């Protein structure tokens, strides 16, 4: 598994992961405190797309995805001081 966030309470995006393509699982947990975390993919590192509703969460969850070779990252929006989100692929 690749760690994208660990107990993060800031809005923004994780480091970029190079995805070789295929099926994957997006895991998120922690104290969301109203924040949302989503998995995003990019064909070029500049244009980012949400992988879909199966990988966009406002609470502890797990979602599967299947996607070709690309870059992946997780993005947190709506974080507060109470937010502590971890996420892995």
Q: What CATH number is attached to the domain comprising 44?
A: 2.60.120
Per-residue confidence (pLDDT) for residue 82, from 0 to 100: 97
- Give the per-residue pLDDT at 2: 95
- Cα–Cα distance for residue pair 22/7, rounded to 1 Å: 27
CA angle 27, 42, 72 (to 5 degrees): 25
Q: Which residue has the tokens 């989100």?
A: 85
The number of distinct structural domains making up the chain is 1
Which two structure tokens, joined as six digits, stand for 86? Answer: 């971890």
**pLDDT of 54:** 87
Blockwise average pLDDT, block size 10, the chain, 89 residues: 96 98 97 98 97 94 96 98 98
The range of the structural domain enclosing residue 27 comes to 3-88
**CA 1, CA 69: separation in Å to the nearest integer?**
17
């Amino acid at each position: 598994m690749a760690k994208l966030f660990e107990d993060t309470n800031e809005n923004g995006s994780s480091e970029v992961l190079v995805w070789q393509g295929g099926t994957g699982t997006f895991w998120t947990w922690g104290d969301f405190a109203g924040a949302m975390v989503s998995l995003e993919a990019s064909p070029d590192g500049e244009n980012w797309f949400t992988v879909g509703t199966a990988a966009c969460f406002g609470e502890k969850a797990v979602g599967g995805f299947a996607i070709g070779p690309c870059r992946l990252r997780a993005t947190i929006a709506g974080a507060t001081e109470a937010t502590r989100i971890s996420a892995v692929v």
